[in-house]
Structure 1
Amino acid sequence: MFLRQLEPRTARTTAEVLNFALWPLAVLTVLHRVFIKAVNVTITDDFKPVYNASLAFLNHRAIYAENFNSTDPHYLYPPSGTLMIAPLAIIDPEKSRWCFILINAIAILVAWYLLLKLFNFTLNSVAAPALLLAMFMSETVINTLVFTNIDGCLLMAMVAFIHLLLKRRDLWAGVALGLAIAVKGPLIAPLLLIPLVRGQWKVFITALGIPVVLNLLAWPLIVDYGRFWSHTLPYLAESRDYFNSAIVGNAMYYGVAEWLTWTVRIVLGVMVLISLWLLYRYYREDEVFFICTASGILFGGTMLLGSLGQMYYSMFLIPMIMTVVQRNSVMRNWPAWVAVFGFMSYDKWLSDRWQSIGRDLEYLRITFGWGLLLIVAFCVLGDRYLAARREGRLEVGKTLDPAWMHPEPAPADQASVHNGHARHAVPETVTT
């Protein structure tokens, strides 16, 4: 039966045409990114310090003795993360790197499949190859594989967390989030706000318990355990002026006055808080939209307003971008996609002819992209709020959406509603 699906035949519908065109492009792109581009040697190597730290751990040598004066990639995982990634050093560096690339690629594919299910798409839909192609064409996926870091696994953990949270499997949702926090706590921890406002308290048992237990287990096994807290952790709290697309990073690089930097950060921070409040107040019952949009705003705010933001962190904005298939998505406007191009495009804007302008465009497009996305979310939600207030639609439990976003159900659907079998609203899907 599977081989019959591969049999060449002429498409009869537009959906079939798109499927026949997109699947080969998507599959070949994935194979190229994983087995050619990622395996090739690259200047930036996030894997080397991780492997060296794993090797040092297995041989009971010091791990947290980095010289942070250099611009080379540093090992910054906490002891809990060290304990988790230690098996990488069991085999030689080259094969270990290949395995890590493959693990991340598989994790990204699992996240892709879970995202399809989250938005009610099947593998037969046009959305399946379109999303796969878009993900593996993006800078965030390409450089995650090329630099060989762990963000693909963290994306899978994030999407699994969302799925389990929606199914009210709180302890398992906490497991997914806790494993991610154990590796990159400051980046992932803001997601805890979502179960907090939803009252899913059991999530915190495992989400916080797993990192704590792993750190306690690592305590007697890491010879310089205390240096992470006294040497590495303070560095993580500092801002640097290289490879840093956060506002403070670019401000330091371009010599922007501190008062202006803080003004921009505070203004955007207020926008983030207002956007999150509007989502909680009026959209928390629209669960998929609420969780995916709120997670995107939380990650965008963390990357933009925090001490460190790197372009490939944009991977965690993919669930928010995917809400575009929903009628009430904040992504259904052209400025949102200008923002997406800024932080997702693999294109380089460095110019041999206009070097200064090209360098500024390349360095600032990520920061401006994240900022524009947050501004778009704030403006869309704010505009809906003001429109609803003018029209007297600010009711408890009601969304801010205008009527055209949720048309009246067909007569057959109305009959099912009257019979007590109302269906939950689902996002728009592309059918075949």
Structure 2
Amino acid sequence: MLIDAPSPTRTPLRAAIPLLYTVMLFVLFRSAIVFPQGNPGTDFTPIWTAANKYVSGEPVFDSDYTVDMPHYLYTPAGTVLIAPVAIFGSQEVARAVMAAMGALCIIAAIALAVRMVRPQWFHIVFPLAVSFFFITPEPVRSTLALTNINGFLLLLQVLFIWLSLRLREQKAGWLNQFTRPEAWAAGVIAGVALSIKPQFAVLFIVSLAYWQVAVVVVAALVAAALFAVGWFTIAEPELFFTNLVPYLSEPRPRFNGSVSGLGIVLQWPGALVTVLTLFVIATALGAVAAMWRWKDTDPVLFTFVATGVCFAGGFMASGLMQNYYSIWIIPLALTIVGRQSPMRWPITVLILLCMYAHWVWPETGRKTVDVALAYIPSFMFIALPVAVGAWALANRPSEEQQVEAPDNATEANSVHSS
């Protein structure tokens, strides 16, 4: 009698894959469908209002910005891009569609990022990553509950990096880059992202690292074209500069975790705010410089980490930072499954957990302490570039050491034997 040998591919780890996807579906149902329906979607209301004003020819930037309420904060270019939400018959339908599309964009971004970091482990890492990011209070669940466009921007971020790295593989000179479709696609994506949030200029750290001039040129042209379209099609566009820009130039006193926002809440002197602002900029740039050695040896690690720390430093140095901005640090967090990453350091793991857990601390009765505890995620945005820079300096590869992507066969064997 012949006895069939057990299949080498049916390891306990692979057998758990269906369970992982089942858990992921339950988490998605609760976080992407049930949870948003029980929340007001306060970020979506100004988007809906602005889109309808735009298509009906009414002024978009005529709000009373002295009133403390959610305001529409996008440029004329961004208004052109969000205007299609007005085609839906009601705000409820439009919000449901936007929340669903935002969830799909976040899932797609995580899937692509996981493929880039560890393709052979995709069916294990992907459901675990989706479950984790959709079940934690920040940033995905709040993004969907408030119903903003951050999920779309996350997908644009990951697509931009993927296209930039594909362009890098072509080894084309800066002039020949204009003949490559990857350069045009990456430039269009960056131009769209810039038009919605100017802070997405930090993506150009990737273009600088690989000297992708064509990407920057195309992005600038796209952003300028979209701004021109918005300027000439919006009623009373000058209100953007007379009403909205002055409001954006002043830090918001509430729901603002940037250095300037913390300065208002904690009553820091102006000198301390200035010093801390310069500090977060310097540490973010220092972390990128410390990671520079990985630019060619592990480009996925470098680009995910560099953009992550630049987002952290950039938002803290700007006039507004909210906890769900940590959504653009998800690619950095996913590098934990790579062969090496600053995210494998316990300190950075703790920093990310403090960002995403959004713990509610018990009242101490001391206002300063209670406020400081409430703003712990903001302090983690300051700590992240510092920790990444320290890790990079402590783990710098030698000149001869090459940190290349693992061989597919070797990686697959490691999955089978786990």
TM-score band w.r.t. shorter chain: 0.7 to 0.9
User: Which of 70, 77, 82 lines up with 1:80 in the alignment?
Assistant: 77
Q: Deviations over 1:43-83 (max 9, x none)?
A: x6010111111111111111101222222110011111111
Name 1:184's counterpart in structure 2.
197
Return the alpha-carbon distance in structure 1 between the equivalents of residues 82 and 407 of structure 2. 39
**Aligned to 1:75, what secondary structure does the other structure show?**
coil
- Matched residue type, 2:341: S
| 1:65 maps to 2:77 | no
What are the residue-to-residue correspondences of 1:19-418 with 2, within 5 Å? 19-42=17-40, 45-90=42-87, 91-121=89-119, 125-138=123-136, 139-168=138-167, 169-185=182-198, 187-281=199-293, 283-345=295-357, 347-351=358-362, 356=367, 359-360=370-371, 362-384=373-395, 393=398, 395=399
Return the alpha-carbon distance in structure 2 between the equivalents of residues 282 and 136 of structure 1. 30
Q: Which structure: greater helix fraction?
A: 2
Return the alpha-carbon distance in structure 2 between the equivalents of residues 353 and 370 of structure 1. 24
1:123–1:148 CA distance, 2 compared to 1 (3 A): farther
Post-superposition shift, 1:329? Answer: 0.8
TM-score, with structure 1 as normaliser: 0.84
Post-superposition shift, 1:348? Answer: 3.7
**Aligned to 2:66, what secondary structure does the other structure show?**
coil
Of all paired residues, the percent bearing the same amino acid is 24
Name 2:179's counterpart in structure 1.
none
Post-superposition shift, 1:266? Answer: 2.3
Return the alpha-carbon distance in structure 2 between the equivalents of residues 264 and 294 of structure 1. 20
**Structure 2 contact 294–302 (Cα < 8 Å) conserved:** no
- Aligned-residue RMSD, C-alpha: 2.4
Post-superposition shift, 1:234? Answer: 2.7
Q: Higher relative contact order by CA 8 Å / sep ≥ 6: 1 or 2?
A: 2
**Aligned to 1:225, what secondary structure does the other structure show?**
coil
**Aligned to 2:197, what secondary structure does the other structure show?**
helix
Q: Deviations over 1:223-253 (max 9, x none)?
A: 1211112321232232122111112211210
Return the alpha-carbon distance in structure 1 between the equivalents of residues 241 and 406 of structure 2. 47
Name 1:8's counterpart in structure 2.
none
Post-superposition shift, 1:286? Answer: 2.1
- Matched residue type, 2:162: H
**Structure 1 contact 349–358 (Cα < 8 Å) conserved:** no
Larger deviation: 190-199 or 353-362? 353-362
Question: Which consecutive residues of structure 1, in runs of 5 or more, have no partner in the other structure?
Answer: 1-10, 407-422
Question: Which consecutive residues of structure 2, in runs of 5 or more, have no partner in the other structure?
Answer: 1-8, 168-181
Return the alpha-carbon distance in structure 1 between the equivalents of residues 407 and 312 of structure 2. 25
**Structure 2 contact 203–307 (Cα < 8 Å) conserved:** yes
Return the alpha-carbon distance in structure 2 between the equivalents of residues 264 and 197 of structure 1. 26
Q: Deviations over 1:99-126 (max 9, x none)?
A: 1111111111211221122123258631
TM-score, with structure 2 as normaliser: 0.86
Larger deviation: 47-56 or 112-121? 112-121
Larger deviation: 294-303 or 356-365? 356-365
Return the alpha-carbon distance in structure 1 between the equivalents of residues 322 and 159 of structure 2. 23
Post-superposition shift, 1:205? Answer: 2.7
1:211–1:232 CA distance, 2 compared to 1 (3 A): same
- Matched residue type, 2:312: G
**Aligned to 1:431, what secondary structure does the other structure show?**
helix
Larger deviation: 292-301 or 266-275? 266-275
**Structure 1 contact 341–369 (Cα < 8 Å) conserved:** no
- Matched residue type, 1:211: A
**Structure 1 contact 338–369 (Cα < 8 Å) conserved:** no
Return the alpha-carbon distance in structure 1 between the equivalents of residues 32 and 381 of structure 2. 27
Post-superposition shift, 1:23? Answer: 1.9
Return the alpha-carbon distance in structure 2 between the equivalents of residues 426 and 134 of structure 1. 28
Return the alpha-carbon distance in structure 2 between the equivalents of residues 228 and 258 of structure 1. 28
**Structure 1 contact 241–252 (Cα < 8 Å) conserved:** yes
Return the alpha-carbon distance in structure 2 between the equivalents of residues 333 and 92 of structure 1. 48
Return the alpha-carbon distance in structure 2 between the equivalents of residues 340 and 149 of structure 1. 22
- Matched residue type, 1:330: P
Return the alpha-carbon distance in structure 2 between the equivalents of residues 108 and 64 of structure 1. 29
1:255–1:199 CA distance, 2 compared to 1 (3 A): same
- Matched residue type, 1:251: G
Post-superposition shift, 1:159? Answer: 0.5
1:321–1:41 CA distance, 2 compared to 1 (3 A): closer
Return the alpha-carbon distance in structure 2 between the equivalents of residues 263 and 214 of structure 1. 36
